[in-house]
Amino acid sequence: MTAGPTREYFDPVRYISNRSSGKMGYAIAEAARRRGHSVILVSGPVALKPPTGVITKSIVSANDLFSSLKSNMKKCDVLVMAAAVCDFKPAFQSKRKIKKNTVNIPIRIIPTIDVLRKIEKYKKRRFFVGFAAETNDVLPNAYKKLMQKGLDMIVANDVSSPLSGFESNDNTVSIMFSGQKRATNWPLMSKKSVARMLVLEIEKKIHAGR
């Protein structure tokens, strides 16, 4: 289980990141643990208390996330990638704080590691679940990610809505499975309720042989 944002530093005190609070990922980790599953939670920097009974691994950057996943992959049957990985990082990281009075400093950004694509080669028979946080063309973008990243299931949500998504306690999601282009749309509900339903959906798919 992954959760929260990643950070990419351009000096020792400043970084590029995103608005992910980690609430969705933590809720899924807790729901899976309550269902009796052993859970390893790989978490970016968040202001949340880890669920009881869950092994928590703290990471910061996209590279950290990939390294943690790779080292723990042998222990898992299901990977749920709810973390909001920062897509960009500074091309150069200063070892000293860049002073405020420095004028016209260009900060060139480059893509971060594509964690899902890199981890796909370790998939084998494992069940992979991805998340697609989108602001437009939500379902087409989610379906594209489902197909391109070798996922078995994807959870799509519109993070532009003020009622759900990042930082909110509620969420509205749509789920799609590999080989099924049609999405199932769930109503607005608490992230804890979404988490419980997602865990049940994953269990059903695995028990049915996908």
The total of other beta-carbon atoms located within 10 Å of residue 143's CB is: 19
pLDDT at 207: 86
Domain boundaries, the chain: 2-207
Q: Are 165 and 133 in contact (CB under 8 A)?
A: yes
Nearest to 84 by CA among 193, 23, 4: 4
pLDDT at 208: 82
Both structure tokens of 58: 């703290």
pLDDT at 118: 95
E strand or H helix at 206:
helix 191-207
pLDDT at 107: 82
Helix 23-34 vs helix 191-207: angle between axes, to the nearest 10 degrees?
A: 50
Above pLDDT 70, what percent of the chain? 99
pLDDT, tens digit (0-9, with 9 covering 90-100), for 137-163: 999 999 999 999 999 999 999 998 888
The total of other beta-carbon atoms located within 10 Å of residue 82's CB is: 26
pLDDT, tens digit (0-9, with 9 covering 90-100), for 17-38: 999 999 999 999 999 999 999 9
Fold of the CATH domain 2-207 = Rossmann fold (3.40.50)
Q: Quick check: is 169 catalytic? A: no
